[in-house]
A and B are shown apart, each in its own frame.
Chain A
Amino acid sequence: MRTARGHAAIGALCGFLALSACDSGALSEDERAKIASLSIDALGPLPPSPGNRYADDPQAADFGRLLFFDEGLSGTGNISCATCHVPDQQFQDARPRGLGADETDRRTMPLAGAAWNIWQFWDGRRDSLWAQALTPLEDQREHAGNRAAYARYVAETYADTYSEIFGALPDISEIPENASPFGSETERAQWSAMELEEQEPVNRVFANIGKAIEAFERTLIPTETRFDRFARAIAAGKEPTGDAAFSDLELEGLRLFIGKANCLECHNGPRFTDDHFHNTGVPPVAGLPEDLGRAVGIAAVQADPFNCLGRYSDAGPDACDALRFMKRDAAAMERAYKTPSLRGVAGRPPYMHAGQIATLEAVIDHYSSAPAAASGQSEIRGVVFTDRGRQALIAFLNTLDATPASDP
């Protein structure tokens, strides 16, 4: 009997060990499916931009590239889109908050894959890349210019290119040198003094500047990462080899990401974003004006004359799904910000909408401690991480950096 009991105890121990081993064993069916859903291979084709009929015109994209880097498109003559969207830094500027003519209140976003976004800016106050591109041009802390001056500048500098793409330039010789609904007091007064039929051609040229820039930005697509090569092998039921093979730590981090750490709730799909807005209790920056995020962005995108439903859009109203079905409940969206993509995230600190958090380690601390929001309701539920778990999550996030495949 004694021996039998001894054997039973050994059996029980074996059984216990076998269950524990499930934790570190082969990937489950569910884990494989989640991994495949994050792969760049799951990224569909470039979505159409219904409001911009030039979105996929290569000539417009070439023109847009010129405009993107043209410092002439600024009130100060020394600022271009590339001032903050720096090409060799993932088209962002590594600063807590963008710095154009002055410092802004928000972190500059990277551009790869922005064409897949439903909403632009952290608060989604624009619904297309072309409408987005126009906004900094007239922000006094960014390009610090005005649409009348931009229309004149394009007419003087790019008349032939412009008319080849968009048709003949309207006659804007009689309009004021500087006028805009958002500029200095004088510029705003000049704009108000213009008749609607004088404003119209200026808006038209201005909108086309945005449409060309969007055509260029649509060429900035996400590039393959080590994670994608790992995921491709997993999806094909093969063992990842060469640089696609993950270390134990990276695999552990990936499992946390798609499992217990709940990251997938918002950072899902091949761009690692759900294209929605969430209050995650990120503290406001002292000294900055109150920032209620999406709660303000909702009204702003509806009021934007360059939105999908506006007169400068090339879309029929049925094509404007994002605006038609937009969640309009501002109270529920207080201090909610757009989920950023995590592709390339390790290479672009600092983090959050105003660069509040300096390192990925501190970001994980934030999600672990889940502080209450300054206002509105944080959606974060705290997650307890071991030190090893933190390291693992960061090791996994590093595999999302764009790297060319190395020779095995």
Chain B
Amino acid sequence: MPLQHKTGSRRFVLASAGLLMAVVAIYAAYRLFTPPAPEIDVAYNTVSRDGIYQVMFETEAQPIPLNETHDWVVTITTPDGTPVTDASLSIDGGMPAHGHGLPTEPQMAENLGDGQYRVEGLRFNMGGHWEIRIGISADPGLDEAVFNLDL
């Protein structure tokens, strides 16, 4: 009996070790053969392409809704934090993986002061990776901020 018991637990340990090795091997193979996820910056606060502006946005509804036309408030400062109060914004974007643009034409609706601007008419009609490009024209210069959204 004791001998049998010992053999049984040894088998169990071996089988467990085998299982563990297999899982590790499969995971390693999975990591090896799966391309790494693209590095996408999904922060809602970013620096414009040429570094002229610090740009962030807040949405009227959180999380960003699907199939609902809603507003954003975009805040623009210079890199040292000074509000940019005289900007005009243009909004564009789309789904790079699907090759299509936005389903609407969002517009800058109101300069709220203090470097804040209301943008109206944003709408996302499917889940997935969206890119929003905000063109900024103000005294410091022309620049564009790009946001990646994962809906």
Contact = CB atoms under 8 A, between A and B. Distances in A.
A binds B: yes
Interface of A: 3-4, 7-16, 19, 37, 264-266, 268-269, 274-276, 321-322, 324-329, 332, 377, 379
Nearest to B24: A15
Contact of B19 (A14, A322, A324): A14
A11 B101 contact: no
Contacts of B100: 332, 379
B125 A274 contact: yes
Contact of A8 (B18, B107, B128): B18
B104 A327 contact: yes
Contacts of A9: 18
A8 B21 contact: yes
B67 A268 contact: yes
Nearest to B126: A265
Range of interface residues on chain B? 20 to 34
Interface stretch (B9-17, B50-58, B79-87, B142-150): B9-17
From DSSP, what is the main secondary structure of chain A's interface residues?
Answer: helix
Given A7-B11, A8-B17, A8-B22, 18 more contacts: A8-B14, A8-B18, A8-B21, A10-B18, A11-B16, A11-B22, A37-B66, A268-B126, A275-B67, A276-B125, A321-B121, A322-B69, A325-B121, A327-B101, A327-B102, A327-B104, A328-B105, A379-B99
A265 B17 contact: no
Nearest to A381: B98
B66 A269 contact: yes
Contacts of B22: 8, 11-16
Contact of A16 (B26, B66, B67): B26
24 contacts: A7-B18, A8-B14, A8-B18, A8-B21, A8-B22, A10-B18, A12-B25, A12-B26, A19-B26, A264-B126, A265-B98, A265-B128, A268-B66, A268-B125, A268-B127, A274-B67, A274-B103, A275-B67, A275-B125, A276-B125, A325-B105, A325-B106, A325-B121, A379-B98
Given A11-B18, A16-B22, A329 B101 contact: yes
Given A16-B22, A265-B126, A268-B66, A11 B17 contact: yes
A274 B102 contact: no
B123 A325 contact: yes
B66 A11 contact: no
A321 B11 contact: no
B20 interface: yes
B42 interface: no
Nearest to A274: B125
B99 A377 contact: yes
A-B pairs, top 4 by smallest CB distance, nearest first, are A11-B18, A325-B121, A8-B18, A12-B22
